[in-house]
Structure 1
């Protein structure tokens, strides 16, 4: 019986705590299933189910086998900052907010995603209010989520 309880506890902890970070997995994937490698080519492209992988407990989709293999060679380069949550919301309000996967910025070789709906484009706010200041604050805020 004791072994059964230990096995059950391990199973539950793997299912619920398997990923190391708090990723935004709306629609089951990072960036709502958009190809994180494509962003670095200045494109927001929805990935395909036949080109998927899991990294750090989170699922990713890609437009091609080439992009999938590119990601696998250096996944940390392509993972969105702040777990794929809205960068502006993390910096300005220390809140996790959903994103619009078509609204993004590559800054200093890193991917930032933003909310953009109902007349509110947080990428514009990020730019207007000073991305360096907001990024510094978001970095501090995000460290409390890990």
Structure 2
């Protein structure tokens, strides 16, 4: 049990440091990942999080929307059109960075497969261990992250 606690603590401590060694931001501050070029949210269709059973699906480069200096891929033209109509409704909070790390004023990569919809908004976490901590006080962490987000320098954030 102690080893598991230490492992979770190590993940929590190192998560905000994950960005220090790799260029992972598009010019507009959308987290685009290390090996994804300029593709937001790892190429996942952000509209799909809000449909059906809420399980995200990978987008297809045939249905690409340019938004905030990043490419957003969608699984259908209908989803691409829905995003174009209201990108703020579908884009993840904090530019796709980890919501828990943001609650501590840090940028860490959000994993598009470790997510939670809260009050109609998409939040990503860096990994499942961090998400378990975040789930213990979602409203508190969101309040802290919302306060920290404006302190991130221009060029590293979006959605103001």
TM over 0.5: yes
The answer as to 2:44 corresponding to 1:34 is yes
Superposed CA RMSD:
1.5
**Structure with the higher helix share, 1 or 2:** 1
| Kept in 2: contact 1:114–1:121 (CA 8 A) | no
Q: How does 1:45-60 map to 2 (within 5 A)?
A: 45-60=57-72
Does the CA contact (< 8 Å) of 2:111 and 2:126 recur in 1? yes
Note the 1:1-146 alignment, pairs <5 A: 19=28, 22-26=29-33, 27=36, 28-41=38-51, 42-91=54-103, 93-116=104-127, 120-128=128-136, 130-145=137-152, 146=154
- The TM-score normalised by the length of structure 1 is 0.79
Bigger RCO of structures 1 and 2 (CA < 8 A, at least 6 apart): 2
Higher radius of gyration, 1 or 2: 1
4+ residue stretches of structure 1 with deviation over 4 A? none
Structure 2 unaligned residues grouped into runs of 5+: 1-25, 155-160
**How many matched pairs?**
123
Flag structure 1 segments of 5+ consecutive residues without an equivalent: 1-16
Partner SS, residue 31 of structure 2: coil
Q: 2:84, 2:109 → 1: CA distance?
A: 25
Provide the TM-score with structure 2 as the length reference: 0.72
Q: 1:53 & 1:121 partners in 2: Cα distance?
A: 32
Q: What is the aligned partner in structure 1 of residue 19 from structure 2?
A: none
